[in-house]
Structure 1
Amino acid sequence: MISFLDLPVEIRVIIYAYLLNPNDYLSGYRQIENLITAHTDRSRGPSCADPRLYVERYTPSILLVNKQITSEALYVLHRIPLSLEGTPGTYLAMRQMDITEFISEELLQNIHYGILRLDTAHKHFVLPLLDIWGQRNNLKRLDVFRPRSTPIPRDHWKIVKSRVFSR
């Protein structure tokens, strides 16, 4: 009987790329946006009794098989383009959800190619993302897309002293 490791590495890489999709987290975005839209009574305002919305994160099974397969699969996973969008807000003016509620910091720090799509200027999404990348940056390429139609307030992106790093 032939084992998975008996397959040529080129075939295993194709299988890893098929099994691993770092952009699966976007379905979690859609779930939360649908829950907010369906179950929010905007007339009564936010309630502390409302359950905290979260998305269950998981580790793909292929990453749990053995060290060699994990190493090969992570190599592939970190090279798949990761498309990042601003996270959903939880309710009206309440805080925007953090990207790490959807994607682990370790994956964010190890990706090689990111695509940042900003429909509006989400500084509460971008600044924590930059902090995460600043810890251990393996990013080789970052494409940023933002529509020109939305004006940004002049002081929206003011640099905060605590975010300036000295080296």
Structure 2
Amino acid sequence: MGLWGVGCASQVPVVIRIPPPENPSVAEVRADVSHYMETQVRWGGTITAIQNGKSETSIEVISHQLDSEGRPKDYSQSEGRFIAKFKGFLDPAIYSVKQDLTIFGTVSGIETHSIGEFPYQFPVITVDSSYLWKPRSDYYSYERYNPWFYGPYPYYGNFYGYYGWPYGFWW
């Protein structure tokens, strides 16, 4: 494989990009968790809480639909929440609230926790693989998606060219 093949390779794991054959939704699993026990799922969403225990970390996630790469869609309807259980310690400074996370794992049960005063049943997933996405503000820059940009370098800025010179001012 030449340099072109290496540069185009995706860093997102295959199990995150491609869903398993049977991939029930969070709502389906909540409705009948006993039917889906030990089923592999690929789910994702936005982190709402993280809690480290002695030997594992639990991350609460608001689920969202996933795009073709497995990234949670920004404004999709949520089907509910789930808990992703990881072996070992995950740093809350890295896995922080409001970040997008996609997991691949196995349905291992259901836990009831309160959201405010409401008792909520969370499907629990034992995580085999995961991908923490870069914040969208880093991924989508103003310059790259500026609709008013016209020039020969559409992905390198809105007023200044690739080398920092204003367009139309070449010497």
- Provide TM-score, normalisation by structure 1: 0.22
Write 1 or 2 for the structure with the bigger share of helix.
Answer: 1
Write 1 or 2 for the structure with the bigger share of strand.
Answer: 2
Larger radius of gyration between Structure 1 and Structure 2: 2
